[in-house]
Amino acid sequence: MKVVGLFGGIGGFELGLRGAGHQTVLTCECWAPAVAVLAARLDGVPNHPDIRELADLPEDAELVCGGFPCHDLSQAGKTTGIDGARSGLVDEVFRLLRRRIGVGRPVPWVLLENVSFMLHLEGGRAMERLVHAFEDMGYRWAYRVVNSLGWLPQRRERVFFLASRVADPADVLLGDEAEPKSAETAIGKIAHGFYWTEGIRGLGWAPDAVPTLKNGSSVGIPAPPAILMLDGRVVK
């Protein structure tokens, strides 16, 4: 499929999809360091710097993917909610999809990703926003929570939301099932990873695993990853 990567970041979706045989034809990313990584990883693929100014999607787009900003939905942030200035940018995805529908060339598949806390914040209002928007546009949808512990020693749960106008997305997203096995907490026997968020609380606790890596702090307070060692020392 021809893929458009919105909120492209450093190209995680795009690299994975390329490995499965798909081709990225456009990315949209505003952060200069991430744009540089995209250019290196996706040589020759054009990038648009601002989704708010992206007028339309390519006519041949078959899959739109993106991890829309989590700043207002994450437990590590200020939990403003789906109406927050950053997470609310998902509305730009809806705008672009509706434009394709309006000209008779709807995008068949859409894959979105965000933090699992969005399922609980404000009683699940963020998921409600997604569901209503996609159903109004004639899409079927499915979602699941995937834990990165299935692939590497880091506990990081994310919601994957797949929508389609041409098939049942549950056949793709729910095609198999496997639960990653996490070690039991055993202080003094194994190391444990976590990170401080905004300098006020620790999150991401995982026995025998590295903590989540963060690229910054919304209030300017360092939020370093940390490891609780066997002897009780905390290494940041």
Beta bridge partners of 147: 157
**pLDDT for residue 226:** 84
**pLDDT for residue 218:** 57
**pLDDT for residue 191:** 93
The token pair at 122 is 């404000």
**pLDDT for residue 4:** 98
Residue 14 domain-assigned? yes
Residue 25 domain-assigned? yes
| pTM listed for this prediction | 0.88
pLDDT at 181 over 90: no
Residue 181 domain-assigned? no
* Same domain (yes/no): 27, 90: yes
d(CA 34, CA 218): 17
* Same domain (yes/no): 134, 197: no
Mean pLDDT, rounded, for 13-26: 97
**pLDDT for residue 75:** 67
Residue 179 domain-assigned? no
Residue 180 domain-assigned? no
**pLDDT for residue 73:** 76
* One-character DSSP codes across 124-144: THHHHHHHHHHHHTT-EEEEE
Least confident residue range of 26-30, 52-56, 205-209: 205-209
Which domain covers residue 219, as residue numbers? 192-235
* Same domain (yes/no): 74, 162: yes
Active site residues: 70
Domain count, the chain: 2
Output 110 or 71, whichever has higher pLDDT. Answer: 110
* Same domain (yes/no): 9, 100: yes
Do 173 and 207 form a contact (C-beta atoms < 8 A)? no
Do 47 and 55 form a contact (C-beta atoms < 8 A)? no
| Domain termination residue (choose one: 143, 173, 203) | 173
Least confident residue range of 22-26, 36-40, 83-87: 83-87
Do 115 and 158 form a contact (C-beta atoms < 8 A)? yes
* Same domain (yes/no): 146, 218: no
Confidence label for 95 from pLDDT (cuts 50, 70 and 90):
very high
Residue 184 domain-assigned? no
Residue 183 domain-assigned? no
> What share of the chain has pLDDT > 90, as a percent?
66
With H, G, I as helix, E, B as strand and everything else as coil, classify residue 25.
Answer: strand
Mean pLDDT, rounded, for 7-21: 97
Mean pLDDT, rounded, for 18-43: 97
Confidence label for 49 from pLDDT (cuts 50, 70 and 90):
very high
* Same domain (yes/no): 88, 199: no
pLDDT at 223 over 80: no
Average pLDDT, the chain: 89
* Same domain (yes/no): 136, 168: yes
CATH code of the domain containing 61:
3.40.50.150
* Same domain (yes/no): 133, 206: no
* Same domain (yes/no): 159, 46: yes
**pLDDT for residue 71:** 75
Residue 197 domain-assigned? yes
Residue given tokens 């041949």 in the structure block: 60
123-178 per-position pLDDT tens digit: 999 999 999 999 999 999 999 999 888 888 887 889 999 999 999 999 999 988 88
* Same domain (yes/no): 117, 212: no
* Same domain (yes/no): 133, 198: no
- Highest average pLDDT, of 64-78, 163-177, 205-219, comes from 163-177
* Same domain (yes/no): 155, 208: no
pLDDT at 107 over 60: yes
